[in-house]
Homo-oligomer: A and B are copies of this chain.
Amino acid sequence: MFADRLSASAQAIQQHFDGVLGALDDLPVVRAMAHATHGGKRLRGFLVLESARLHGIDATHAIWPATAIEALHAYSLVHDDLPCMDDDDLRRGQPTVHRKWDEATAVLAGDALQTLAFEMVCREEASPDANVRATLALRLARASGAKGMVLGQALDIAAETALTPLTLDQITALQQGKTGALIEWAATAGACMARADISALQAYAKALGLAFQIADDVLDVTGDSATLGKAVGKDAEAGKATFVSLLGLDTARKRAADLVDQACDSLAGYGTDADTLKEAARFVVTRAH
């Protein structure tokens, strides 16, 4: 069953984090890194492990980039939650890092998690092929930097003080940076590790990333914070334009469903081997119902 596979992969990633972080000094910043990487569905790591399996890459290698992308994602959450950013108290049902420790520890733990992500893709255990390691690291930098995730975050901040709400095209661009770029890195990692053509997985990831964000906006309206483990309704309160505010709830759900179909169609060339990735795409949207 898909849920079991997702949970098994989350567990493997947790174990890997335990080993890697356990090798560091016992300091507040390291405990904060462990806290920040604990829990969550670890969808990005799952996409790495599944795309790797699809390309015959051994899991003992793939666990490194799978854990790396989760470290990078965790860093972005720790910094996004800071008082000067989204000022959130709750994440995955737990106090955020700056609430449990302090802001300095949250800044540093986020910084070190970003660094750790690059370390993990560059270690020889990630791939015996130096070209693969360098490519994974270069693509990770591009996905997360000022043309990727940080760009999305900066556009989000700019939108808060903009005089007019964002258009659909602008929100789509913002989300491609903020969420889409890391999902794309994760889903293409397996092909990248096999030095194979990434285009089918890339098309899958682009559709999936957008569906994911639309589903997130739907959840922000329909979900409750106890189930989600984080605050909800914040976007609506802040009067921010979202896919739901622009499209309406029904159309947003329909758009997300269409994107999932599109994501699945992109994987046709892989045959039934890609069934798990197709289920992952459906899972992303069904959680928003």
Whether B115 lies near A154 (C-beta < 8 A) is no
Whether B108 lies near A29 (C-beta < 8 A) is no
- Asked if A118 is at the interface of the complex by the 8 Å CB criterion, the answer is yes
A30-B146 contact given A111-B79, A134-B130, A141-B119, CB 8 Å threshold: yes
Interface residues of chain A: helix, strand, loop or mixed (majority): helix
- Asked if A147 is at the interface of the complex by the 8 Å CB criterion, the answer is yes
Whether A33 lies near B134 (C-beta < 8 A) is no
Q: CB-nearest residue of chain B relative to A148?
A: B115
- Asked if A85 is at the interface of the complex by the 8 Å CB criterion, the answer is yes
Q: CB-nearest residue of chain B relative to A23?
A: B147
Whether B102 lies near A84 (C-beta < 8 A) is yes
Count contacts on A: residues with CB < 8 A to the other chain.
49
- Asked if A142 is at the interface of the complex by the 8 Å CB criterion, the answer is yes
The residue that A82 contacts in the complex, of B27, B75, B107, B154, with Cβ under 8 A, is B107
A147-B24 contact given A108-B154, A141-B119, CB 8 Å threshold: yes
- Asked if A226 is at the interface of the complex by the 8 Å CB criterion, the answer is no
- Asked if A183 is at the interface of the complex by the 8 Å CB criterion, the answer is no
A151 vs B62: C-alpha distance when bound (angstroms): 27
Q: How far is the CB of A272 from chain B (nearest CB, A)?
A: 34
The residue that A134 contacts in the complex, of B25, B104, B116, B134, with Cβ under 8 A, is B134
A42 vs B135: C-alpha distance when bound (angstroms): 28
The residue that A25 contacts in the complex, of B135, B140, B142, B151, with Cβ under 8 A, is B151
A122 vs B108: C-alpha distance when bound (angstroms): 24
Residues of B contacting A154 in the complex (Cβ-Cβ under 8 angstroms): 27-30, 108
A153 vs B142: C-alpha distance when bound (angstroms): 27
Residues of B contacting A213 in the complex (Cβ-Cβ under 8 angstroms): none
A103 vs B151: C-alpha distance when bound (angstroms): 16
A260 vs B15: C-alpha distance when bound (angstroms): 45
Whether A145 lies near B130 (C-beta < 8 A) is no
Whether B138 lies near A122 (C-beta < 8 A) is yes
CB-defined A-B contacts under 8 Å, sample of 16: A24-B146, A25-B147, A28-B158, A29-B150, A79-B107, A79-B108, A84-B104, A84-B107, A108-B157, A114-B114, A116-B146, A118-B137, A119-B142, A133-B134, A133-B137, A134-B137
